[in-house]
Amino acid sequence: MSLKDSIRSTAGRTISLLILGAVLILVMLLSMQFGSVKIPTREIIQTLWERDDNNITFQILFNVRLPRVILGVLTGGCLAVAGTILQGVMRNPLAAPGIIGVSAGAGLAAIVVTLALPYFAHLMMPAAFCGALGTAILVYLLAWKKGASPVRLVLAGVAVSTMLSAMSSAIMLWNAERVAGILDFTVGSLSARSWRQFELAGPYIAFGLPFAFLLSGRLNILTLGDEIAIGLGLAVERTRFLLIAAAALLAASAVCIAGLLGFVGLIAPHIVRIILGSDNRFLLPASALFGAILVSGCDTLGRVLFDPSEIPVGIIMAMLGPPFFLYLLRKHSYEI
């Protein structure tokens, strides 16, 4: 048995998931070290274990760094799983929340609630979900012509995303006096994030991720094609809608936490798929772990590179994403 076959066996994939989990824990501990005060790993573990509210180190870790790290992990995991689902449902390797406009739809709804309807801030998450789901369905319908080709999906997504971004810009211009507080939202940032964002999006993520994992077997069948899926007894349209809804919920959760953070849902699934193959029962959780590592690692890099200044994680991802996107365009042959 070759090394590739060994890795893609059930045991190999399980071990890979455990390795990714261990790497994620290490990245989280590394991320909590850096800031205005550098804290050694041993002190981090000891301080969090003892939970002394009078300890200034505990206050820094628990109220500032820990929520940021956890939110980065959740954001990366949600975007990666959403991208994996969209690529499977649309059978398009270029599908990702940021590229086909799903994140832009969620972002527009979040900006409307934040700026135009500030008294309804508690509705940000439901509004973002509706925006993401509506955008995903719209792009799919616009790209459909005896099937939805990869090129039409991307072109429809870019067009819809541009239109939604223009609407978001107009709303920010009309509310210029309050726009300074959400500039990092349009870039994608974890700066100044706290337990409030966790309370806002946490319940939706706690439902969305397990729900997506439960649908992984159906996603495997759906990727075989509609005719085969119907022959195997799968309710294709209902399954497709449930999967798109799950992807929209996860993308909306990520947007409510970190803003318009792009390319995570494109990069993470592809890298994991190269290693573990296309079985979504393993691909979804592995992509979630890798996406979490990617966002948390890039956020840490953004804080360390020009310390004490900070580069938003969205800018780091924007530098990594386009070359990877162009690589995919060169690697695959697409027809309209």
Q: What are 38-47's pLDDT values in tens digits?
A: 888 888 888 8
Give how far Cα 82 sits from Cα of 30, 131, 226, Å.
26, 15, 21
Band the pLDDT of 52: cuts 50, 70, 90.
Answer: confident
Domain of 299: which CATH number? 1.10.3470.10
Residue 299 located in a structural domain:
yes
DSSP letter for 62, please: I
Top pLDDT among 214 and 49 is at: 214
User: What one-character DSSP code corresponds to residue 178?
Assistant: G
What mean pLDDT value characterizes the chain?
86
Sorting pLDDT into bands at 50, 70 and 90, what band is 193? confident
Asked if 282 and 288 count as a contact pair (C-beta separation under 8 A), the reply is no
310 contact partners, CB below 8 Å, separation of at least 6: 191, 302, 303
Residue 87 in tokens? 């690529």
User: Which range, 43-47, 182-186, 204-208, 326-330, is most confident?
Assistant: 204-208
**In this structure, is residue 38 part of a structural domain?**
yes
pLDDT of residue 329: 67
pLDDT tops 80 at residue 152? no
Give the N- to C-terminal CA distance of the chain in Å, as an integer.
Answer: 39
Q: What is the rounded distance in angstroms from the CA atom of residue 163 to the CA atom of residue 143?
A: 16
Residue 164 region by backbone torsions, left for phi larger than 0, else alpha for psi between -120 and 50, else beta: alpha
Whether 48 maps to a domain, the answer reads yes
CA 317 vs CA 121, 165, 272, 276: distances in Å = 28, 19, 17, 23
* Position 319 pLDDT exceeds 60: yes
- Tell me if 79 is assigned to some domain: yes
96 neighbors 263 (Cβ within 8 angstroms): yes
Structure tokens at 152: 């039409």
In degrees rounded to 5, what are phi and psi of residue 99?
A: -80, -40
Encode 201-223 in three state secondary structure: HHHHHHHHHHHHHHCHHHHHHHC
pLDDT higher than threshold 80 for residue 170: yes
| Alpha carbon distances (Å) from 331 to 93, 277, 327 | 11, 17, 6
Asked whether residue 199 is domain-assigned, the answer is yes
The pLDDT of residue 321 is 81
In this structure, what DSSP letter does residue 29 have?
A: H
pLDDT tens digits along 215-273: 999 999 988 887 888 888 888 888 888 998 999 999 999 999 998 888 899 899 988 98
On whether residue 159 sits in a domain, the answer given is: yes
| Domain extent at residue 326 | 3-331
Q: Could you give the percent of the chain with pLDDT greater than 90?
A: 33
- In whole angstroms, give the CA distance from residue 122 to residue 204: 13
256-18-62-186 Cα dihedral, nearest 10 degrees? -20
Instruction: Write out the DSSP string of 243-257.
Output: HHHHHHHHHHHHHHH
Quote the number of domains for the chain.
1
Label residue 211 exposed, middle or buried (CB < 10 Å: 0-12, 13-18, 19+): middle
Residue 137 pLDDT greater than 90, yes or no? no
Q: Tokens for 65, please give them.
A: 């760094």
- Whether 26 has a pLDDT exceeding 80, the answer reads yes
> What was the pLDDT predicted at 1?
59
Tell me the mean pLDDT in the region 144-172.
Answer: 80
Paired tokens of 157: 């997504």
State how far the Cα of 182 lies from the Cα of 98, in Å rounded to an integer: 18
Does 336 fall in a domain? Answer: no
pLDDT at 305: 84
Residue 332 has a pLDDT of 59
Band (pLDDT 50/70/90 cuts) for residue 334 is very low
Q: Within a domain: residue 22?
A: yes
Backbone angles phi, psi at 148, to 5 degrees: -115, 100
| pLDDT for 255 | 92
What is the C-alpha separation between 121 and 117, in angstroms, rounded? 7
pLDDT of residue 336: 43
Q: What's the confidence (pLDDT) of residue 36?
A: 72
Residue 62 pLDDT > 50: yes
